[in-house]
Amino acid sequence: MSHQLEKVKELIQLRQQARLGGGERRIESQHKKGKYTARERIALLLDEGSFEEFDMFVQHRSSNFGIEEETYLGDGVVTGYGTIDGRLVYVYAQDFTVFGGSLSETVSLKICKVMDQAMKMGAPVIGINDSGGARIQEGINALAGYAEIFQRNVLASGVIPQISGIFGPCAGGSVYSPALTDFNIMTKGTSYMFLTGPKVVKSVLGEDVSQEQLGGASIHASKSGVAHFATDSEEEGLMLIRKLLGFMPQNCLEEAPLLACKDPFDRLEDSLNDIIPDQPNKAYDMYEVIGAIVDNGEFLEVHKDYAANIIVGFTRFNGISVGLVANQPKVLAGVLDSNSSRKAARFIRFCDAFNIPIVTLVDVPGFLPGTQQEYGGVILHGAKLLYAYGEATVPKVTVTLRKSYGGAYCVMSSKHLRGDINYAWPSAEIAVMGPAGAIEVLFGKEMAASSDPVAFAAEKESEYKEKFANPYNAAKYGYIDDVIEPRNTRFRIIRALQQLATKKLTNPPKKHDNLPL
């Protein structure tokens, strides 16, 4: 065998060794936990045969506590690029079979290289987390490695889409990278995130809590809002990342892909003409409205289990990728509160950063009252939502279905926050407050002095409803562009989006804004 062939044979052997990560035994242990390996995850995520790997031969450089006696090719993370539906993406996947996926200086350098490349090429970056945290033997170098990654997350924010898959442990400092990215996907039963683990919680607070109760997927998807999605399996999580990217452009200078649409753009939906109940306090399901007007009834909801009084997610109108925001009358009467305001604000800012138009369906009785909300800063959180709508320069189409009262009217993509096209159904009630409350304020004394307060209130309420509980008062001032027949909603939204396709609007030059955090 020639000298060159021997060298080639050596390369092939080294590649095989690198692909085994921490070795067969640890791969088997990963599979027993119901988890895929880093390379298996990448293979499932990317188009078949498209993965090109970087830094397969990198090894750690530490010599503390005898770690120099144990080295692995690739050192705990698999990095590179490939395609999803033919579009370029950069990816890194932490390898739990090598030192528990712990982050060393070289692991950080590998991740940073991929992120830098993604920024230069203007392509999304996907990080798959499955790691025991910082590699203790490397001390400050591991921490420095984390901060280098965080700095890149910050600079990439709003420039390229960043998606995190949490498919195992993600604890301590490592949680901040996913927190800085646009979307977090966790898997039920096998992933968790927390800053301090159950043992520390027990020793500091004396509180007994399991990993799942402290930071499992279901907790973060419903209680904290840290996770945007909680999936039943890794396959489902990886397919979700592929689907999610289909709604996004490659970077902030591009448009999202326009798909061919077989669903007729002028399809009428007669059911919408009587979906609003006669009684103003009766709920209906906003999902029915969404399903009736979007392409093929398909809606990819974000933060489904968190702050369910507002609905956000991606959909299409005649093939156009759109971010949809809608109040949900079935939950807390669709009222706005701290959590729903934050949830919607973050989603709107993502859409605006990546040129995705925003369609808003409004049925909001106001903000949730009470000490709990006020002490929790509902003023600041509500202001975030207002700010997000006010700063957004993408096309904004708003449809008011029923209630739009008080400050919540202003906040929900009103004409005054630069809503481009504002429609209302004939059932819309746009006013400072609901009839009963308004009469209490306006005629409280007269009501108390009246011989028949109930009849007096009923008469005044009827007067108020005639004057304000309709869309025509707002339309009279041009705050509503048109009152539309509910069954035409799909057609009218699509026409509005087509008209707004060439919209150009820029905010005043500044270093950056100072939104109320």
- Tens of pLDDT, residue by residue over 321-367, are 999 999 999 999 999 999 999 999 999 999 999 999 999 999 999 88
Q: What b/e sequence results for 413-437 when a residue is b if at least 16 CB atoms lie within 10 Å of its CB, and e otherwise? A: bbbebebbbbbbbebbbbbebbbeb
Pick from 80, 93, 177, 154: nearest CA to 121: 80
Q: Is 118 a catalytic residue?
A: no
Q: Are strands 183-187 and 162-166 parallel, antiparallel or unpaired?
A: parallel
pTM of the model: 0.94
DSSP 99: G
Catalytic residue among 156, 307, 408, 424: 408
Task: Give 367-407 pLDDT, tens digit per residue.
Answer: 888 898 998 888 999 999 999 999 999 999 999 999 999 88
The C-alpha atoms of residue 330 and residue 513 are separated, in whole angstroms, by: 35
Q: Which of 122, 173, 197, 225 is catalytic?
A: 173
What span, in angstroms and rounded, lies between the C-alpha atoms of 223 and 305? 8
Phi, psi of 474 (to 5 degrees): -65, -35
Query: What's the confidence (pLDDT) of residue 457?
Result: 81
The structure tokens listed for 514 are: 């100072």
Phi-psi category of residue 461: left, alpha or beta, with phi > 0 → left and psi -120 to 50 → alpha: alpha
pLDDT at 53: 94
CA 299 to chain centre: 14
List the catalytic residue out of 172, 237, 313, 366.
172
Q: Give phi and psi for 403, each to the nearest 5.
A: -80, 145
Q: Please state, in angstroms and rounded to a whole number, the distance separating the CA atoms of residues 212 and 198.
A: 10
- Which residue, among 180, 296, 279, 185, has the nearest Cα to 233 in the 3D structure? 185
Q: Which residue has the tokens 């078949």?
A: 48
**What pLDDT does 462 receive?**
81
Is residue 291 part of the annotated active site? The answer reads no
Asked if 123 contacts 82 with a C-beta cutoff of 8 angstroms, the reply is: no
> Residues 422, 425, 426, CA angle at the centre, nearest 5°?
130
β-strand 229-231 against 183-187: which pairing, if any? parallel
Give the whole-angstrom CA distance, residue 150 versus residue 157: 11
pLDDT at 461: 81
Contacts with 3 (C-beta within 8 Å, 6 or more apart), sequence order: none
> Is 370 in contact with 410 (CB distance < 8 Å)?
no
Q: Which residue has the tokens 């280098």?
A: 148
Alpha-carbon distance of 217 to 26, in angstroms, equals 24
- Catalytic: 501? no
The answer for residues whose C-beta is within 8 angstroms of residue 434's C-beta and 6 or more apart is: 280, 365, 403, 405
408 is catalytic: yes
What is the C-alpha to C-alpha distance for residues 310 and 304, in angstroms, rounded to an integer? 9
Cα torsion 332, 336, 342, 343: sign: positive
Q: What tokens were used for 317?
A: 């109108």
Give the total residue count for the chain: 517
Rounded Cα distance, 514 and 371, in Å: 26
CA–CA dist 117, 129 (Å, integer): 19
Using CA atoms, how far apart are residues 433 and 119, in angstroms rounded to an integer?
Answer: 48
Q: Which residues of the chain have pLDDT under 50?
A: none
Helices H, strands E: what count in the chain?
19, 17
**DSSP characters for 206-260?**
-----HHHHHBHHHIIIII---SEEESSHHHHHHHHHHHHTTS-SSTTSPPPPPP
Supply the Cα-derived Rg of the chain in whole angstroms: 27
Instruction: Report helix angle 338-353 to 378-391, nearest 10.
Output: 20
Q: Nearest 5°: phi and psi at 260?
A: -65, 140
Residue at token pair 């093939």:
319
Tell me the C-alpha distance between 340 and 47, whole Å.
Answer: 36
